[in-house]
């Protein structure tokens, strides 16, 4: 129940971020809806396709469809006022990333994959909706240029597998690893930390 | 037999639309062939991958491969004269979209998915070949900016599930729903109807 | 063992080519790693997804992950000196393409697909990592504009199925077809042969 609420909040934040990019590109209503959808479920869809868990998860759970549709209509109607929600959206988004990372990791474990692959799947779940959104909008994915999410996801993933070695309940491993993703991202954004640049200024 | 002919006409129209875009981008012969192929089978391929029906359908039916290859050669050779065929091509294209929408819906039903997901699969089958074509050609997909197909597909899908509630033979449901897609699209193009704009002029 | 070394050399060459394109686009370290990864394993991943062999192959063989990671770090650190390696890299790349083409063909045979589809799968394995790399970097795939690889792969594929008709050991079919890909590519690049242009100069 608790995780389901987080999941829905994350889905809303992701969908709205898609709507804002699509509006910026002057897309029509159909395009806006598709971009919202892809941003929200794209990462999990790619993960499911790569590990062969099909039909992909949003096809068998109508909650996502309804939530994304409602969030899209909301964001389109109130787009001029959405700036006031920027802080809440950022928080939802960050919490969503934490949850998705751990969910992705656990799907990898169920498929009996190597921990490094599981961390890659977790990062993919959290980050690749945005990558597909940017490709559909004809942009170089923002995450490849100004990394914000991925390092947090990877650190959370390492935490997950570190904790699994300890005598801790699985639920706690889940919560703590997700919390690491969230806290790292909050710190990174708060203090404007970025990966070391590969280029001379 | 009847549906097979429609399927082939639709495939031809889709492939030729791919060739024209690729020639516009000054692609080489290999690129032109790939874009023709992707435009014709991309939507169905994405659908098959997402619902886990693999190998994807064009891999197990050589008809598509031969038809697309022939259509590509034809379109390249006669590209300066293809303008005379524009009306026929538009008609084939529209009929193809009608057929693909219903085929996609029925694949969703076989996989026991929710009606809304089935309609999404139908729309995807009809429209996403063009989306992948545009991404490969480094354009924002035209369908996200000036929507032409998708609304027709969605209306046809709603018709399909409306009719299924009535005591009508399945074959008729198939034909009528496909016809709705075709008629809506013809009307939309004839009267230059578009979705309400989200932007002030 | 012999093939494994070729596979690793090919993976290194592909990953480094990804790094160079990503650095050119001023990506951050995470982006560079992802592009290297996608370039190296993208073709095989697409093939596996389309024929339904999941989890896709790099997820169940950690060698690729380690090799790509090491090649990426190497290429980033020594990027100013990588020009000296250009000839070796081109050779590794070409040998890799030969191997991947035949590996892709044989995966198609295992899935009992038509020879033409098998050749398409082989070409895809060898070439589509570069296609996905270019899409993520917001470029029209170079292979669609100035064809270098694909014809070599297709000729190698035709050789493969020609030889299978003869009383030759399977291993020899594998090696000769791969060698045809390599030799054709070397000749094509050496004598600057390109596909006939579809456009008037």
pLDDT band at A201 (very low <50, low <70, confident <90, very high): low
Chain B residue numbers touching C145 (CB-CB < 8 A): 25-28, 31
Q: What is the pLDDT of residue C147?
A: 66
Residue A182 structure tokens: 């969230």
Taking the CB of residue C80, how many other CB atoms lie within 10 A of it?
7
CA A102 to each of CA A17, A68, A115, A133: distance values in angstroms, whole numbers, following the listed order = 21, 21, 12, 22
A142 touches chain C (CB under 8 A): no
Q: What percent of chain B has pLDDT over 70?
A: 98
Distance between CA atoms of residues C109 and C114, nearest Å: 8
| CA gyration radius, chain C | 17
What is the distance in angstroms between the Cα of A121 and the nearest Cα belonging to chain C?
10
Mean pLDDT of B102-124: 93
ipTM for the whole complex: 0.87
- For A131-146, how does the pLDDT look when each residue is reduced to its tens digit (9 = 90+)? 999 888 888 888 888 7
CA A155 to each of CA A119, A123, A177, A191, C45: distance values in angstroms, whole numbers, following the listed order = 9, 10, 8, 17, 26
Q: What percent of chain C has pLDDT over 70?
A: 98
- For C58-93, how does the pLDDT look when each residue is reduced to its tens digit (9 = 90+)? 999 899 999 999 999 999 998 888 777 777 778 888
Chain B residue numbers touching C133 (CB-CB < 8 A): none
Residue A1 has pLDDT above 80, yes or no: no
Indicate the SS3 state at residue A112: coil
- For B119-162, how does the pLDDT look when each residue is reduced to its tens digit (9 = 90+)? 999 999 999 998 999 888 888 888 888 767 888 999 999 999 99
A73 touches chain B (CB under 8 A): no
Give φ, ψ of A123 to 5 degrees. -65, -40
Chain C residue numbers touching B34 (CB-CB < 8 A): 144
Residue B31 has its nearest CB partner, among C114, C145, C199, at C145
CB–CB of C116 and B52 under 8 A?
A: no
A55 touches chain C (CB under 8 A): no
> Pick from B72, B38, B74: which is nearest to B58 by CA?
B38
Distance between CA atoms of residues A41 and A68, nearest Å: 9
What is the distance in angstroms between the Cα of A94 and the nearest Cα belonging to chain B?
27
- For B48-59, how does the pLDDT look when each residue is reduced to its tens digit (9 = 90+)? 999 999 899 899
Q: What is the pLDDT of residue B67?
A: 93
Contact call for residues A194 and A147 (beta carbons, < 8 A): yes
Q: Which long-range contacts (C-beta less than 8 Å, at least 24 apart) are formed by C88-94?
A: C89/C13, C89/C16, C89/C17, C90/C13, C90/C189, C92/C9, C92/C10, C92/C12, C92/C13, C93/C10, C93/C13, C93/C14, C93/C17, C94/C182, C94/C185, C94/C186
C114 touches chain B (CB under 8 A): yes
> Pick from C54, C11, C61: which is nearest to C36 by CA?
C11
Chains that touch C (3 or more CB pairs under 8 A): A, B
CB–CB of B50 and A52 under 8 A?
A: no
> Pick from A164, A183, A189: which is nearest to A105 by CA?
A164
Taking CA–CA distances from B120, the nearest residue in chain A reads A59
> Pick from B29, A50, A4, A166: which is nearest to C52 by CA?
A50
B45 touches chain C (CB under 8 A): yes
Chains that touch B (3 or more CB pairs under 8 A): A, C
Task: Count contacts between A and C (CB, < 8 Å).
Answer: 74
The alpha carbon of A96 is separated from its chain's Cα centroid by a whole number of angstroms, namely: 6
CA B43 to each of CA B4, B138, B186, C125, C127: distance values in angstroms, whole numbers, following the listed order = 18, 18, 21, 21, 21
C59 touches chain B (CB under 8 A): no
Q: Which single residue is written with the structure tokens 């109807």?
A: B193
- For B119-131, how does the pLDDT look when each residue is reduced to its tens digit (9 = 90+)? 999 999 999 998 9
Contact call for residues B185 and B94 (beta carbons, < 8 A): yes
Query: Where in B23-79 does DSSP place strands (E)?
Result: none
CA dihedral C126, C129, C135, C138 (to 10 degrees): -110
Taking CA–CA distances from C49, the nearest residue in chain B reads B49
Residue C190 has pLDDT above 90, yes or no: no
Distance between CA atoms of residues B109 and B112, nearest Å: 5
CB–CB of C151 and B30 under 8 A?
A: yes
């Amino acid at each position: 129940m608790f995780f389901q609420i987080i999941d829905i909040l994350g889905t809303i934040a992701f969908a709205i971020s898609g709507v804002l990019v699509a509006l910026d590109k002057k897309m029509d209503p159909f395009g806006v809806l598709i971009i919202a959808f892809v941003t929200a479920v794209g990462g999990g869809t790619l993960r499911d396709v790569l590990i062969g868990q099909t039909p992909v998860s949003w096809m068998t759970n109508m909650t996502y469809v309804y939530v994304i549709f409602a969030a899209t209509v909301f964001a389109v109607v109130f787009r001029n006022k959405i700036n006031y929600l920027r802080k809440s959206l950022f928080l939802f988004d960050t919490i969503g990333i934490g949850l998705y990372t751990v969910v992705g990791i656990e799907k990898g474990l169920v498929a009996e994959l190597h921990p490094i692959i599981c961390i890659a799947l977790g990062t993919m779940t959290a980050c690749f909706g945005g990558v597909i959104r940017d490709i559909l909008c004809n942009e170089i994915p923002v995450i490849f240029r100004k990394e914000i999410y991925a390092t947090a996801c990877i650190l959370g993933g390492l935490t997950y597998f570190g904790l699994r070695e300890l005598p801790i309940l699985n639920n706690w491993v889940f919560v703590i690893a997700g919390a690491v993703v969230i806290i790292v991202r909050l710190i990174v954004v708060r203090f404007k930390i970025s990966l070391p640049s590969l280029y001379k200024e």
